[in-house]
Amino acid sequence: MRSSYLLLTLSLFLAGRPFDTALAAKIFVSNERDNTVTVLDSETLKVIKTIPTGLRPRGIVITPDYKEVLVCAGDDNRLDVIDTETLEISRTLDSGPDPELLDVDPKGERIYIANEDDALVTVMRRDSGEVLAEVPVGVEPEGMHVNPEATMAVSTSETTSMAHFIDTKTFDVIANVFVDTRPREARFTKDGKQAWVTAEIGGTVSVIDSNSKKIIKKITFEIAGVRPELIQPMGVRFTNDGKTAFVALGPANRIAVIETASLKVRKYILVGQRPWHMSLHPDGKTLYVANGLSNDLTVIDVASEKAIKSVPVGGALPWGVAIKP
């Protein structure tokens, strides 16, 4: 009796994994148009919760301890902080005007926010929301990322078309690098040696050496049957081993797969309509892509570099993704 009970539990555990939400990751998607963050279960890929947020939620990031998801509510000039256990907004932070993208430093202590309307980067303490600095950058700041050593942050400015490198100790802008027109995301590589900057209108990714601040290469894209002006690079993510980069190409409806050693495009993965931002599961095996126009999420298997499926996100104009393992 006892052993069969154990067997039953065990078999339930094994066979029942897809239903065991405790083991599944939670996927948080910001939906720009209907002012929500929807939470999907990574096993069932079903929406398990819809969280109303401030107006125009876009940038979304999870803290390194996975306890909080921070969301930029641009039109409400604030950050909404979601508790990843209760799936409720636990607090809000005064982000400064029109926050668009943000990042948390690797130690989880500071939040860096690109204030789109004010040509500023706001740096604040995560615990208290105390503003440590407002750093003037170019017009329409957007991209925001902190390097792995937490010594440097990079932001982009859409109208100025520059990448701005900020010293995280002094809050000085240490370099401004012209990139192609309308830069969106900036992201340091896993080893921190390069910053990759996408240019939506320029159609390129500028790979910048983090030390010299010189552009090493501008990666261009060419897809048979897709008009060049539809290729609008947006989000960037690197695999955990740092060997591969994924770049979302917006209206081209594809994710470019780039070998980081050679900086060559290896492949294009067809996804939903207008993929914008992405997030990699911390285990490195799965990439999730928010498709703005088709209101869905494409799940990509990193090993095979194939799109497995696309599922509705339960919100309108999905913008960015954060994952709690």
Q: Which helix (H) or strand (E) holds 285?
A: none
Q: Which of 48, 132, 150, 263 binds another protein (CB under 8 A)?
A: 132
**Contacting another protein within 20-79 (CB under 8 A):** none
189-208: contacts with another protein (CB under 8 A): 200-202, 206
Of 67, 54, 123, 117, nearest in space to 95 by CA: 123
Nearer to another protein, 69 or 121 (CB): 121
For 13, how many CA atoms within 13 A lie in the half-sphere containing its CB?
6
Residue count, binding to another protein (CB under 8 A)? 44
User: Nearest distance from residue 319's CB to another protein, in Å?
Assistant: 13
Closest CA to 20 of 9, 5, 31: 9
Query: Residue 57 CB, nearest distance to another protein (Å)?
Result: 14
From 3, 4, 15, 227, residue interacting with another protein (rule: CB under 8 A): 227
Question: Binding residue for another protein (CB under 8 A) from 76, 103, 140, 185?
Answer: 140
- Cα dist from 206 to 152, 169, 313, whole Å: 18, 26, 31
* Binding test (CB under 8 A) with another protein, winner from 30, 31, 42, 157: 157
Please choose, out of 21-29, 126-134, 254-262, 284-292, the segment that lies near another protein by the rule CB under 8 A: 126-134
Among 57, 59, 96, 138, binds another protein (CB under 8 A): 138
Does position 119 bind another protein by CB under 8 A? yes
- Residue 28 to residue 320: CA distance in whole angstroms: 8
The pair of structure tokens assigned to 274 is: 């207008």
Q: Which is nearer to another protein, 35 or 239 (CB)?
A: 35
Give the distance from CA 139 to its chain's centroid: 21
Cα dihedral value 168, 145, 281, 107, nearest 10 = 10
Which amino acid is residue 207, in one-letter code?
V
Beta bridge partners of 255: 248, 269
Residues that bind another protein (CB under 8 A): 116-117, 119, 123, 131-140, 157-162, 170-179, 181-182, 200-202, 206, 212-215, 227, 229, 232, 251
